[in-house]
Amino acid sequence: MEPQVLLDLKDVNKVFGQNHVLKHINLQIERGKFITFLGPSGCGKTTLLRSIAGFYTVDQGEVWIDGNMVNDLPPYKRGTPMVFQEYALFPHMTVFDNVAYGLDMQKRPEAEVQQRVQAALAQVKLTGLEQRYPHEMSGGQQQRVAMARALVMNSPIILLDEPLSNLDAKLREEVRVELRNIQQELGLTVIYVTHDQLEALSMSDYIVVFNKGKIDQYGTPHEIYYKPRTRYVADFIGTTNFIEATIERQEGDQAAVVYGKGRRALLKTDESWTANQKAVLSIRPESLRLNPPEGYPFQMKGKVKSSMFLGEKERYFILDDEGKEWIVDAYDVGQTTYDGEVAFGAAADKIHIIPDDGDQA
C-alpha cells in the first residue's frame, strides 16, 4: 500500500541574508487532500512552495516527497509543477498545445505527447475541445485546462500559488468550485496558497496558518475557526472579539476566569491551565446574543454606537460599560432593532479561551 503521508517537511528553514523566512517548519501532508497555506503577504508561503518544488534549496531540514528525500533534486525531478497566477494559460495556444507544453519542453516523442495529453484532457472531461483557445472557454473550463497541464506531468502534488487572485469575484467563485471538484473527482493532492481566509475556509480539507515564517496551526477549517490555538489565528481568521482574562483556578475540564474589570465566569477548557495564567477570550460576533437568556456565563451591558445591515444579519458596534468596543451580529433582521442600552452575552460553548502570548495579526 502507498504510504498515506505524501509530503513530509522536517524542520525546514530558509534564510535570505539576515531574513530568517521559514522557521522550523514541520508538516505532514496526506495523499488526496486539499491543503491551503494561509497567511498575510510576506509570511513565507511562496518561499515554502518554492522550497517544496525545488526552486529554492532549504538551509536546514529535509523535504520528503512520496518517501524520497528530495533536498538535492532539481525541480524537474521532483515532479511538482507550480501554477502561477491566472492559471498561466498561454492565450495564443490551443488547449492541446497548452497541455502539451511541459512535455514539449522535455522533448518527449510525438506519439507519447498525443497519448498523454488526450488522457489528461479525458481526466478533466475536456475531450473534444483540444483545438479551442482559452478565450473560447469559460473560467471553469480554463481551470480544468490548467489542471490538465499539471496532470499530464504525472505530478504527485499540484502546487498552486494564489492562482485566482487576478480574477474578478464572480469568476473566482466559479473557478474555486471547479478546482475543488476536480481535486475531489480525481483524488489529487493539492497545496493551494492564499491570503484570503474565506477562500481557505471554503475549499480546504486542512489549513496551515502561517505567522511570520512559523506554522501557528494546522487543522480543519472548523478547528481553525472555532478552536484557534493562538490569538494570532483567532485574529486573522474571520472577525472576533477579544477580552483579556486571567485564570483563577483550573479543575478538571473547567476553569474559573476573571475577565474585563473583575467579572467572573466558569468556562469549559480542553487544555490544562494554571492559576494566574494570562489568557484571552475570543468570542465571534455571531456567538454573542443581544438580550441573552439568564444563565449565560458571559454577560455584558453596553450602548449601541452604530450598526450596519449585511443582508442576512445586522452588525452592531457596542461600547460596553467598561469602555471596550464589541461587534455583535443579530440575525433577527427586520424583527427587532436594538438601540441605546443593551445587554449581550454568550453561552459557555461559544467562548474560546486561548493563551495570551500578545501576538496579533
Ligand X SMILES: Nc1ncnc2c1ncn2[C@@H]1O[C@H](COP(=O)(O)OP(=O)(O)O)[C@@H](O)[C@H]1O
**Nearer residue to ligand X within complex by CB, 3 or 42:** 42
Q: Which residues on neighbouring strands pair with residue 192, listed in sequence order? A: 36, 160
Q: Provide, rounded to whole angstroms, the least separation between the CB of residue 175 and ligand X.
A: 20
Question: At 157, which helix (H) or strand (E)?
Answer: none
**Nearer residue to ligand X within complex by CB, 46 or 98:** 46
**Nearer residue to ligand X within complex by CB, 21 or 29:** 21
- Work out which of 46, 155, 189, 217 binds Mg ion, going by CB under 5 A: 46
Q: Applying CB under 5 A, which part among 20-28, 39-47, 101-109, 344-352 lies near Mg ion?
A: 39-47
Residues in binding contact with Mg ion, number by CB under 5 A: 1
Q: Provide, rounded to whole angstroms, the least separation between the CB of residue 47 and ligand X.
A: 3
**Nearer residue to ligand X within complex by CB, 44 or 79:** 44
The 10 Å CB-count burial string (b at 16+, else e) for 236-247 is bbbebbbbebeb
DSSP string spanning 194-248?
Answer: ES-HHHHHHH-SEEEEEETTEEEEEE-HHHHHHS-SSHHHHHHSS--EEEEEEEE
Cβ-contact 21, 47 below 8 angstroms: yes
Residues that bind ligand X (CB under 6 A): 16, 19, 21, 39, 41-47
Q: Applying CB under 5 A, which part among 41-49, 67-75, 305-313, 339-347 lies near Mg ion?
A: 41-49
**Nearer residue to Mg ion within complex by CB, 167 or 281:** 167
Q: Provide, rounded to whole angstroms, the least separation between the CB of residue 210 and ligand X.
A: 7
Q: How far is CA 133 from CA 98, 114, 163, 332, in A?
A: 9, 18, 19, 49
Q: Provide, rounded to whole angstroms, the least separation between the CB of residue 308 and ligand X.
A: 30
Task: Report long-range pairs for 211-214 (Cβ below 8 Å, ≥24 apart).
Answer: 211/39, 211/43, 211/236, 211/359, 211/361, 212/23, 212/43, 212/44, 213/20, 213/21, 213/22, 213/23, 213/43, 213/44, 214/23, 214/24, 214/25
**Nearer residue to Mg ion within complex by CB, 44 or 297:** 44
215 binds, among Mg ion, ligand X, none (CB under 5 to 8 A by kind): none
On the CB side of 51, CA atoms within 13 Å amount to 27
Q: Provide, rounded to whole angstroms, the least separation between the CB of residue 191 and Mg ion.
A: 13
DSSP string spanning 8-32?
Answer: EEEEEEEEETTEEEEEEEEEEEETT
**Nearer residue to ligand X within complex by CB, 16 or 331:** 16
Q: Provide, rounded to whole angstroms, the least separation between the CB of residue 339 and ligand X.
A: 43
How many angstroms separate the CA atoms of 42 and 27, rounded?
20
Q: Provide, rounded to whole angstroms, the least separation between the CB of residue 240 and ligand X.
A: 22
47 binds Mg ion (CB under 5 A): no
**Nearer residue to Mg ion within complex by CB, 161 or 216:** 161
DSSP string spanning 52-72?
Answer: HHTSS--SEEEEEETTEE-TT
154 binds, among Mg ion, ligand X, none (CB under 5 to 8 A by kind): none
Q: Provide, rounded to whole angstroms, the least separation between the CB of residue 148 and ligand X.
A: 26
Positions that interact with Mg ion (CB under 5 A): 46
